[in-house]
Chains A and B, each alone.
Chain A
Amino acid sequence: MVLFIVDLLALFAVYLVINIGLNIQQGITGIPNFGILFAVAGGAYITAGLSTRLTLALLGIQTNLNPVSDNVSVLQLVNPILRSQPIIAISLFILFLMIGGAAGAAMGLISSAPAIRLREDYLAITLLAFGEILNIVGQGYTPLIGGPPGVNLPDVLAWAGEYRFYAGSFVLLLVAIAIFAVADYIIKTPFGRTLKAIRDNETVARALGKSITQYRTVSILIGSTLCGIAGSLWVIYSGAITPTLARFDWTFLPWLMILLGGMGSNRGTFVGTLIFVTLDKLIIYYKYTFVGILPFDIIWLNYLLLGLIAILILIYRPEGIVRETQIKQRPSPESKKFSQG
Chain B
Amino acid sequence: MTTLERLQALLQKELDLAPERLAPDARLEDLDIDSLRLIEILFSVEDAFAIAVPAGADELRARLVTVGDLAAYIDSLLARKANPAP
Same complex origin of A and B:
no
